[in-house]
Amino acid sequence: MKKVTELTDLRGKFVLLRSSLNIPLDNGMVRNKFRLQRALPTMRYLSERGAKVIIISHIGRERTETLQPVYEELTKHLPVDWGGRVDSINFAERRKLLAEGDILLAENLRQDEREENNDFGFVGLLAGLGEIYVNDAFAEAHREHASTFGVAKILPAYAGLTLLEEVTELSKALHPKHPALFLLGGAKFETKIPLAEKYLNLYEHVFIGGALANDIFKARGLEVGKSLVSDISLKDSPILNNEKLLLPIDVIVDGPHGKLIKETNQVSSEERIMDCGPKTIDMLASYIEEASAVLWNGPFGAYEEGYVKSTEQTARHIATAKAFSVVGGGDTVAAIEKLNLNDSFGFVSIGGGSTLTFLERGSTSVIDLL
Give the pLDDT confidence score for residue 199 in this predicted structure: 96
Check: CB of residue 113 under 8 Å from CB of residue 95: no
Give the pLDDT confidence score for residue 10 in this predicted structure: 97
3-state class percentages of the chain: helix first, strand second, coil last, to nearest 5: 40, 20, 40
Q: Please report, rounded to a whole number, the percentage of residues in the chain having pLDDT higher than 70.
A: 100
Kindly report the CATH number assigned to the domain that includes residue 282.
3.40.50.1260
Domain's final residue, options 119, 145, 162: 162
Reported as a pLDDT band with limits 50, 70 and 90, residue 189 is confident
Give the pLDDT confidence score for residue 253 in this predicted structure: 96
Model confidence pLDDT, tens digit, residues 20-44 = 999 888 778 887 788 899 999 999 9
Reported as a pLDDT band with limits 50, 70 and 90, residue 355 is very high
Model confidence pLDDT, tens digit, residues 200-234 = 999 999 999 999 999 999 999 999 999 999 888 88
195-210: buried (b, 16+ CB within 10 Å) or exposed (e) per residue?
A: bbbbbbebbbbbbbbb
Model confidence pLDDT, tens digit, residues 270-310 = 999 999 999 999 999 999 999 999 999 988 988 889 899 99
Q: Which of 42-46, 146-150, 151-155, 297-301 has the lowest mean pLDDT?
A: 297-301
Check: CB of residue 56 under 8 Å from CB of residue 126: yes
Give the pLDDT confidence score for residue 188 in this predicted structure: 84
Task: Show the domain range for 143.
Answer: 4-162
Q: Total structural domains in the chain?
A: 2
Check: CB of residue 343 under 8 Å from CB of residue 319: no
Judge if 222 and 290 occupy the same domain: yes
Judge if 108 and 243 occupy the same domain: no
Average pLDDT over residues 314-331: 91
Judge if 147 and 205 occupy the same domain: no
Average pLDDT over residues 115-142: 97
Distance CA 338, CA 333 (A): 9
Average pLDDT over residues 255-277: 96
| CA distances (Å), origin 243, targets 7, 240, 283, 360 | 49, 9, 16, 21
Domain's final residue, options 162, 181, 206: 162
